[in-house]
Amino acid sequence: MVTLHNQKNPKKKTARLTAMFLALALGAGTLLSGTATAHEGNQIQRDMITQNNAVTQEALDHAMFTAIQHGSAEEVEVWLHRGANPNAVVNSTTGVTGLMLAAFQGNTEMARSFLRHGADINAQNKYDGGTAIMWAVSEGYAALTRLLIKENADLSLTMVSKQNVLMVAVFNSQIESLRDLLETKKIDIDAQDWDGATALIHAVNQESPRMVSLLLAHGADIDIKNKAGNSPMDIAREYEYKGIIKLLEQNEASKQTKTSLRARPSYQSILPT
């Protein structure tokens, strides 16, 4: 995950997880080098461990991360079963766990193995505070995201930027996951990040009527302003997003109608006593 910033230019898309950061997460020398296949690499690991009667935790964890590197859910299950630590981190600098890497790869079966063996679904890395579900959402793995929701991933957690998983979905235009997250009703739709922006403000910045409409349908507050003093409508008008302006106006009109109906006296209240 990379920390997401509220872009002044709404057309500028936030960068997704890059190969450079994956290399940082994996750490130089942590995994087997070269071009060995998953089978070859893990056979080497198995032979080394079999020949060494005093199997160390480090060796088991190393073998597990090698299997992750090659995307082999079957091999990961083997090493977890043999005692690899499901909460081991690739290195202490980034704090990236195996489950996070499985989420980055979109490897649902690998993620299931980690969860079966007790992996902490809510672990946060030291780079930006991202969690496994944030990685899955950012990369567009809707099925894996649903699995993590089902396994009770904490949706209230935020990155160091105070951005939650809902904002991650918005930044990466992951509408399916955005819908799934909203339908849990376990996430603060109006949470604000360090710039004071909400998911709705970010959706406006992304110039996405679909995401704006979805957030409004789930009750997003259109009056909350960011630290610059701008509301969703202010931003939409500044950039002349006519479709979004219309959606926000319709939402406001609907709110006023409901308020008016609630304030209207009932038929019984005006009958003579």
What does the DSSP assignment read for 191-244? ---TTS--HHHHHHHTT-HHHHHHHHHTT--SS---TTS--HHHHHHHTT-HHH
- Which residues fall within 8 angstroms of residue 166, CB to CB, at 6 or more apart? 155, 178, 181, 182, 187, 189, 191, 199
Q: What pLDDT score was predicted for residue 256?
A: 78
pLDDT per residue as tens digits for the range 126-176: 999 999 999 999 999 999 999 999 999 999 999 999 999 999 999 999 999
Could you say which DSSP state residue 95 is in? -
State both tokens at 177: 């996951």
pLDDT per residue as tens digits for the range 116-125: 999 999 999 9
| 8 Å CB contact between 72 and 107 | no
Q: What pLDDT score was predicted for residue 2?
A: 44
Q: What pLDDT score was predicted for residue 265?
A: 61
Q: How far apart are CA 148 and CA 36, in angstroms?
A: 31
Q: What pLDDT score was predicted for residue 182?
A: 98
| SS3 category, 248 | helix
Q: How far apart are CA 3 and CA 48, in angstroms?
A: 39
Indicate the pTM of the whole model. Answer: 0.82
Q: What pLDDT score was predicted for residue 170?
A: 98
Q: What pLDDT score was predicted for residue 249?
A: 97
Burial 226-256 (b: 16+ CB within 10 A, else e): beeebbbbebbeebebeebbebbeebeeeee
Q: How far apart are CA 137 and CA 168, in angstroms?
A: 7
- Which residues fall within 8 angstroms of residue 103, CB to CB, at 6 or more apart? 111, 132, 133, 135, 136, 139, 141, 144, 148
Which residue did the predictor score with more confidence, 229 or 30? 229
Q: How far apart are CA 235 and CA 245, in angstroms?
A: 9
Q: How far apart are CA 151 and CA 149, in angstroms?
A: 5
Q: What pLDDT score was predicted for residue 60?
A: 96
Q: Report whether pLDDT(6) > 50.
A: no
Complete domains list, the chain, with CATH:
8-160 (1.25.40.20), 189-263 (1.25.40.20)
From 96-100, 194-198, 250-254, the region with the lowest mean pLDDT: 250-254
Cα–Cα distance list, 46 to 5, 66, 74, 101, 222 (Å): 44, 11, 14, 22, 57
Confidence band for 13, pLDDT divided at 50, 70 and 90: very low
Residue with tokens 């299931």: 112
| SS3 category, 158 | strand
If 0-12 CB within 10 Å is exposed, 13-18 middle and 19+ buried, where does residue 47 land? exposed
Q: How far apart are CA 34 and CA 37, in angstroms?
A: 9
pLDDT per residue as tens digits for the range 240-273: 999 999 999 999 998 877 666 565 565 555 555 5
State both tokens at 68: 């992750």
| SS3 category, 97 | strand
Q: How far apart are CA 272 and CA 197, in angstroms?
A: 51
**How many helices (H) and strands (E) are present in the chain, helices listed first?**
14, 0
Task: Name the CA dihedral angle for 141, 160, 231, 17, rounded to a multiple of 10 degrees.
Answer: -30
